[in-house]
Structure 1
Amino acid sequence: MKILVTGTAGFIGSHLALKLLQRGDEVVGLDNINDYYDQNVKYGRLQRCGIIDTLEEGKDIPYGKLLTSNKNSNYKFIKLNLEDKEALMSLFKNEKFDAVCNLAAQAGVRYSLTNPDAYIDSNIVGFINILEACRHNNVKNLCYASSSSVYGLNEELPFSTNHNVDHPISLYAATKKSNELMAHTYSHLYGIATTGLRFFTVYGPWGRPDMALFLFTKAALENRKIDVFNNGEMLRDFTYIDDIVEGVLRVIDNPAKIDKNWNGKGGQVSTSSAPYKIYNIGNNNPVKLMDFIEAIENKLGKKIEKNMMPIQAGDVPATYADVSDLVEDLNYKPQISVQNGVNSFIDWYLDFFGFDSKGNKIDD
């Protein structure tokens, strides 16, 4: 297939693009490479995919120009904002995609408290542009990133895709719920198969610098205290990046279908009389935050000093994914353990940021 993957300078998108290429698909990657977090990590992901040769080259990527990877001729990349409707429509018209996986978004729960406009621009305006581009260019297979944050004030665990998600507690979560509603509308009106993916606390090599694992590892190596919110009384369904990507691949290969048993009555939230579906992709095994920190300490061979803090606005105390639909429909369940996943991340972190295996900075 020829697949557009938006957010390919991002964490999940860069891993997904490589997996698609490895199995022989043609991929066009799109990202605006914003400065929400360290752009060198984003450039590093693009370098890994052969879009640039050095991190320094990343600063000179031209806007709106389709670049071809120097490692794989089946991979092209374009720096573009989803809000740029005219340029996006032109890309769709010229490239004629078989499928689209929209992972581009303004990320971060806490950032949405201080920069709400960024979420409306990218996650709402950008997403309607993706839907319109699919509609007008006969793309019938769309999957997109939602988030476990949509569960909001729901306290019924594990989180099921058939639970009510009408009580988000951050604007980020509200935009992701909005994406699901918008997608359903286009599935119903135009027959576009849309699948929303509620990701649960994704971690692993090339991860996001604003996420806990990255922040904790950095602080530990710099002998600084870490801020532990909700006094450590957090449960998170940490999900390793390879497990996430395998789930996304299966969704791309199995577009949403009409649920012939759907009757519009209560309890049938994740399917529809339209070709629409919602999946949780999580490890189905919530881990205490303090145990997650202990996995980092085990790998680094050192204790990390902790600054215990109250829960932050927009955070939920626990996440736990019910993945029964994923197992039933796609015969798949994430399975990589937290300790193995943390070990892989820290090995990558030490290499990328120039530390030896004992966590000592290597002189240039």
Structure 2
Amino acid sequence: MKILVTGAAGFIGSHCAERLHHMGHEVVGADNFSPYYDQNLKHKNAKDLKDAGIPITRIDLREPGDFSKLKDDFDYIFHFAGQPGIAATSSFEDYLWNNLVATKNLIDFALTCTQLKLFINISTSSIYGLHATLSEESAPAPASFYGVTKLAGEQLVLSKSREKRIKTCSLRLFSVYGPRERPEKLYTKLIGCGFFNQEFPLFKGSEEHVRSFTYVGDIIDGVVSVIGNEEKVDGQIINMGSENEHTTGEGIAIVEELLDTQIRKNTTPKRQGDQMFTKANIDKARKLLNYNPNTTLKEGLKKQVAWYRKAFVD
């Protein structure tokens, strides 16, 4: 099968592209190498993929003309690209253009792919709002520009299933961590502070936040399992994450144990729109896709520490 992966130079997208390639598929990556964070990290991911035989084309999904760089012969499209997270440096327009307009343009391209079997939209638990513990049938209540625009993009994608134009699904991911995690995310930043004896900025109250921290390998198990299950997942929203929840404080303690150090912390003001509690309800994923994440937080963080050491310390 020929598969397009958008956001392929990013954290989860790069892992997905690698897995699909190892499964024997022809994978084409697309990324605009946004300066949201250090582009050198994305270029490093891209080089690793290229060395493995996975080309990445520089494409800005916000620009309809850029799609001329792609052929229209894809069997699957995995859409990871977007404006991530909750950041004071990102404007509403950033989220609007990267999560909604870009998705609309990609859908328009997908409609030209006559052999397309499934369009897989990668979404987020932030759609549920501050307490993400509900099933897919629950009413969304996003509390950030990120969550609002991801919900809108998700509905654009799923509308094509309702119109019977193409088969689509949307996977809502919960608190993914692991090797290649973005530098501003919790564990990469925390591990870096531990290695280099730097102060870790801790949002006020965040140590008590509860998360379904999910190892990236377990997430990719679920993401790629949609292949061959087009009829089952068409038009569906599916949660993917760990059912085991941990506080941020527990995660910090595990990293300190793995590094055998006490990380210095600096409490910063509370972040608006940050989720208080997430716990993935994965009953539907189990039923439809036999999804069963099983990596413990300590096992996953051990792998992330080893990756960070090799990439930035040794």
Normalised by the length of structure 1, the TM-score is 0.82
Q: Choose which of 61, 67, 78 in structure 2 pairs with 1:82.
A: 61
Q: Match of 1:160?
A: 135
Alpha-carbon offset, residue 310 of structure 1: 5.0
- Structure 1 39/107 Cα, relative in aligned 2: closer, same or farther at 3 Å? same
SS of residue matched to 2:230: coil
What is the CA–CA distance in structure 1 between the aligned matches of 2:299 and 2:269, rounded to whole Å? 29
- Structure 1 343/131 Cα, relative in aligned 2: closer, same or farther at 3 Å? same
Counterparts of residues 161-176 of structure 1 (less than 5 Å)? 161-165=136-140, 167-176=141-150
Q: Choose which of 277, 282, 299 in structure 1 pairs with 2:236.
A: 277
What is the CA–CA distance in structure 2 between the aligned matches of 1:324 and 1:80, rounded to whole Å? 36
What is the CA–CA distance in structure 2 between the aligned matches of 1:161 and 1:18, rounded to whole Å? 28
Kindly provide the amino acid, as one letter, of the partner of residue 281 in structure 2. Answer: D
Q: Match of 1:216?
A: 190
Kindly provide the amino acid, as one letter, of the partner of residue 105 in structure 1. Answer: G
How many pairs does the alignment contain?
312
Alpha-carbon offset, residue 20 of structure 1: 0.9
Kindly provide the amino acid, as one letter, of the partner of residue 287 in structure 2. Answer: E
Alpha-carbon offset, residue 257 of structure 1: 4.1
Q: Match of 2:82?
A: 105
Q: Match of 1:124?
A: 100
Alpha-carbon contact 1:110-1:314 (below 8 Å) kept: no
Alpha-carbon contact 2:133-2:277 (below 8 Å) kept: no
Alpha-carbon offset, residue 196 of structure 1: 0.6
1:7 aligns with 2:7: yes
Q: Choose which of 159, 182, 187 in structure 1 pairs with 2:156.
A: 182
Deviation by residue 1:196-222 (Cα, 9 ceiling, x = unmatched):
111111111111111000111112222
Alpha-carbon offset, residue 168 of structure 1: 1.2
Alpha-carbon contact 2:177-2:187 (below 8 Å) kept: yes
Q: Percent same amino acid among aligned pairs?
A: 33
Deviation by residue 1:233-281 (Cα, 9 ceiling, x = unmatched):
11011110100111111023322548xxxxxxxxxxxxxxxx3011111
Alpha-carbon contact 2:232-2:288 (below 8 Å) kept: no
SS of residue matched to 1:290: helix
Q: Choose which of 289, 293, 316 in structure 1 pairs with 2:252.
A: 293
Q: Match of 1:56?
A: none
What is the CA–CA distance in structure 2 between the aligned matches of 1:105 and 1:251, rounded to whole Å? 21
What is the CA–CA distance in structure 2 between the aligned matches of 1:256 and 1:213, rounded to whole Å? 37
Q: Match of 2:300?
A: 341
Alpha-carbon contact 1:102-1:145 (below 8 Å) kept: yes
SS of residue matched to 2:78: strand
Kindly provide the amino acid, as one letter, of the partner of residue 348 in structure 1. Answer: W
SS of residue matched to 1:353: helix
Q: Match of 1:266?
A: none
In our comparison, the structure showing a higher alpha carbon Rg is 1
Q: CA RMSD in A?
A: 1.7
Structure 2 unmatched ranges of 5 or more: none
- Structure 1 137/91 Cα, relative in aligned 2: closer, same or farther at 3 Å? farther
Deviation by residue 1:163-203 (Cα, 9 ceiling, x = unmatched):
110x2111110111101211221111143111111111111
Structure 1 unmatched ranges of 5 or more: 51-69, 259-274, 356-364
What is the CA–CA distance in structure 2 between the aligned matches of 1:252 and 1:228, rounded to whole Å? 39
- Structure 1 30/114 Cα, relative in aligned 2: closer, same or farther at 3 Å? closer
Alpha-carbon contact 2:219-2:293 (below 8 Å) kept: yes
Kindly provide the amino acid, as one letter, of the partner of residue 134 in structure 2. Answer: F
Alpha-carbon offset, residue 228 of structure 1: 2.4
- Structure 1 213/256 Cα, relative in aligned 2: closer, same or farther at 3 Å? farther
Normalised by the length of structure 2, the TM-score is 0.94
